[in-house]
Structure 1
Amino acid sequence: MRRLVKWVVAVVVIIVLGVGGYWLFQQHKTTTTEQDKTPATKQVKLVAIGDSLTQGIGYANDHKGYLPDLKNDLQKAYYVKLSSSNYGIGGLRSDQIDKRVRTNQKERASLKKANVITLTVGGNDLLQSLEKSIFVSSNKQLDSKLTPVKKTYRKKVQRLIKDIRAVNPNATIYMFGIYNPVYVYFTNATMITNAVAQWNVVNKSVAQQSDNVHFVSISKQLTYGQYQSAASKAKLKQEVTKSNSKYVSASSVESLLQNQTSKEKNDYLSDEDHFHPNHRGYRYMAKTLAGVMGKYESWQSK
């Protein structure tokens, strides 16, 4: 009888161990399978070139701009590990950005290794053009002055893209548009608004006509800030005494910016210079760029 009991107990133990071992094996197999399904993290090298919007001027003087937020956004949304290099320099025009692409060996070496290239260009070209268009009193006169300059600017941007491609034929290029930083002070100055719109048309069309180049629009948010509705814009016009002229000189704009001591009226621009984005503005640039990237990159979503 004792032998029978021992035999039964032994059989039960064997069965329990067998079932438990099989369950553990299946659990391990399932866990391993799930781990195998997780996409590998892709190493992405981003190189940012351009003017002050790339350098990051306007936000606490840390010169980081939109890149830190972009890195966080992409790594939260995709299986990517982003590393970046920032070659932005405030004040550069399109031809000066291009010259660095052609001659700066450190920048060229970095561009060559890039998977993604971001570009801010056009704001300083437009500022220079508007400074030469002080004495205009109609959109017709403004268009007459800007048309030849705009054609020249288009050729410069096309050459810039071509020279980037000579260094790196394969990286995806994302080109930002520009915005009107003084709209909240010169709300009726259609001269500036129209000129910004024309420059954005150039950037967008060059991007569309180039392989693997995409336009990133930031004008609406950074120009109008929190004044997005028709009612808020109408109220702003009533509040701003300097908004009663459609055509303002570049010197008037410069004077206002230099003498502005109050808090910036546009919630997306800097209190320091009333011209460049603040952290919220650069955060918007990063979010918008990440959204455009999501349409064109083949990264696995988390």
Structure 2
Amino acid sequence: MKHRQKQTKKGWLIMVCIGLVILVTGGFWAFNQFNAHQPAKPKIVHLTAIGDSLTYGVGDHPGKGGYPNLIRQKVNHSTHHITMTAANFGISGETTNQINHRVVSSPKLRNNIRRADVITVTTGGNDMLHFLKANLAVQTRRDLSAKLQQYATAYQTRVSRLLTNIRRLNKRVHIFVFGIYNPVYVYFPQVSFINQAIQLNNRVTSRVVQAQSRTYFISINKKLSDGQYRTAKSREKLKQRASGIGDQTLGANQLEKLLTGQGNTSNRYLSTEDHFHPNRTGYQIMTNLLYRKMCQHLSWLKE
């Protein structure tokens, strides 16, 4: 009798153990199946945009924020595993030195640089604008070229210092630096010196960028300068219409007049209010070029 009771108790314990194993195994399987069908939490990516009015978004629809907001939207709509945030630290009118001053002195900006996964930079446009306004009245091409070389040497020092100070705050971040464009090409295509100055400015920026790790140059000169005049034939017609104006007749007063919205022709990618900053279409072009460059260098965009 006692032997039967022991066997019965032993059998019951075995059945309980088997039941527990089945229950635990089934629960683990169900848990895995549930998680397998749940979307993974998106990776949070922080973008910090540093720069001048092109970062701030002047020329875009009010409150839309230019390319930093557009790239945030594009990344979030294009990928399901990424959620990008964008902090905009653009201030209209600032030169490279002024932007650099904020990088070394603004606690809020410095904290955002430290936590950033991606940094974008626009700089050089106001440096070049100040140079042109100060020197377009110079009489000879030789003097203009000499002054431009002096400018390029000083600008290289400034932009190198800016990027170095950003990198000191964040060793791992990927930095994307925009070039500048010629906002007056469509209005004064015959003034070749401005094109030369813009190209030199971009070569300097690109050279500095190439010397930095995880830093990439984005050229926007061709796209935004030419505007809707995309073919060689259309650009030649544009120059012919301006053939009555000599190559050296653009002065600081004419440039100032144009940049206050007084122009006869128009570049479809620039704001009609100041003929200088991109409009919504122009910022979309910048965004697309930035996104293409990001896809080349950021592995998490390819996943």
TM-score in terms of structure 2 length: 0.83
The code of the aligned residue for 2:163 comes to: I
The code of the aligned residue for 1:62 comes to: G
Moved more, 169-178 or 123-132: 123-132
SS state at 2:299 partner? coil
Determine the structure 1 residue equivalent to 2:110: 108
Moved more, 90-99 or 145-154: 145-154
CA distance in 2, matches of 1:286, 1:157: 22
Moved more, 150-159 or 249-258: 249-258
Determine the structure 1 residue equivalent to 2:17: none
Number of positions where the alignment pairs a residue of Structure 1 with one of Structure 2:
274
Structure 1 residue 141: deviation in Å?
2.6
CA distance in 1, matches of 2:274, 2:68: 21
Determine the structure 1 residue equivalent to 2:154: 152
CA distance in 1, matches of 2:101, 2:108: 13
Q: Given that residues 186 and 244 in structure 1 are in contact (C-alpha distance below 8 angstroms), is that contact kept between their aligned partners in structure 2?
A: no
Determine the structure 2 residue equivalent to 1:197: 199
The code of the aligned residue for 2:177 comes to: M
SS state at 1:53 partner? helix
CA distance in 2, matches of 1:202, 1:247: 27
Q: Given that residues 182 and 195 in structure 2 are in contact (C-alpha distance below 8 angstroms), is that contact kept between their aligned partners in structure 1?
A: yes
Name the structure, 1 or 2, with higher relative contact order (CA <8 Å, separation 6+): 1
Segments of 5+ residues of structure 1 without an aligned counterpart are 1-24
CA distance in 2, matches of 1:214, 1:38: 32
Structure 1 residue 68: deviation in Å?
2.2
Within 5 Å, give how 1:136-285 maps onto structure 2.
136-240=138-242, 243-246=245-248, 248-258=250-260, 260=262, 265-285=266-286
SS state at 1:132 partner? helix
The code of the aligned residue for 1:193 comes to: N
Structure 1 residue 247: deviation in Å?
5.3
The code of the aligned residue for 2:233 comes to: A
The code of the aligned residue for 2:52 comes to: D
Q: 1:214 to 1:300 in 2, by over 3 A?
A: closer
Determine the structure 2 residue equivalent to 1:97: 99
Aligned pair 1:130/2:132, yes or no?
yes
Moved more, 246-255 or 149-158: 246-255
CA distance in 2, matches of 1:117, 1:54: 11
TM-score in terms of structure 1 length: 0.83
CA distance in 2, matches of 1:84, 1:243: 45
Structure 1 residue 37: deviation in Å?
11
Q: 1:107 to 1:300 in 2, by over 3 A?
A: closer
Name the Cα RMSD after superposition: 2.5
CA distance in 1, matches of 2:213, 2:249: 38
Determine the structure 1 residue equivalent to 2:288: 287
Identity of aligned residues (%): 37
CA distance in 1, matches of 2:165, 2:258: 38
